Amino acid sequence: MKVIRMQTKMLSQKIIANVSDEFARVYQLPEGHQSVGFFSVDNDDAGYLAVDDATKKADIKVIHAETFYGGSTCSWSRYGGSVFVMFSGPKVADVKSGLAYVKDFIDNRTELCNFDGDRGTAFYAQCVPRSGKFFKDFCGIEEGTAYAYLVGGPIETNYALDKALKAGETRIARYWYPPSHANSSGAVLAGTESACRAAARAFVDGLQHAIAHPLEI
Return the closest-CA partner of residue 188 out of 72, 63, 48. Answer: 48
pLDDT over 70 percentage in the chain: 97
Residue predicted with more confidence, 79 or 87: 87
Distance separating alpha carbons of residues 217 and 210, to the nearest angstrom: 9
Helices 92-108 and 44-55 pack at an angle, to 10 degrees, of 130
pTM: 0.95
Q: What's the confidence (pLDDT) of residue 20? A: 97
- What would the mean pLDDT of 205-212 be, rounded to a whole number? 97
**Is the fold of 7-110 the same as that of 113-212?**
yes
| Tens digit of each residue's pLDDT (9 = 90 or more) over 2-21 | 999 999 999 999 999 999 99
Asked whether residue 71 carries a pLDDT value surpassing 80, the answer given is: no
Consecutive H or E run containing 212: helix 193-212
Confirm if 186 and 176 have CB atoms less than 8 A apart: yes
Provide CATH code, domain 7-110: 3.30.70.1710
The domain locations on the chain are 7-110, 113-212
pLDDT band at 53 (very low <50, low <70, confident <90, very high): very high
| Tens digit of each residue's pLDDT (9 = 90 or more) over 42-51 | 999 999 999 9
Residue predicted with more confidence, 181 or 95: 95
Consecutive H or E run containing 145: none
CA-based radius of gyration for the chain: 17
Thinking of the domain 113-212, which architecture would CATH place it in? 2-Layer Sandwich (3.30)
Asked whether residue 87 carries a pLDDT value surpassing 70, the answer given is: yes
Position 153, amino acid? G
- What would the mean pLDDT of 193-205 be, rounded to a whole number? 98
Return the closest-CA partner of residue 215 out of 165, 177, 152, 159. Answer: 159
| Tens digit of each residue's pLDDT (9 = 90 or more) over 111-137 | 999 999 999 999 999 999 999 999 999
Q: What's the confidence (pLDDT) of residue 77? A: 77
pLDDT band at 66 (very low <50, low <70, confident <90, very high): very high
Share the mean pLDDT of the chain: 95
Distance separating alpha carbons of residues 209 and 54, to the nearest angstrom: 35
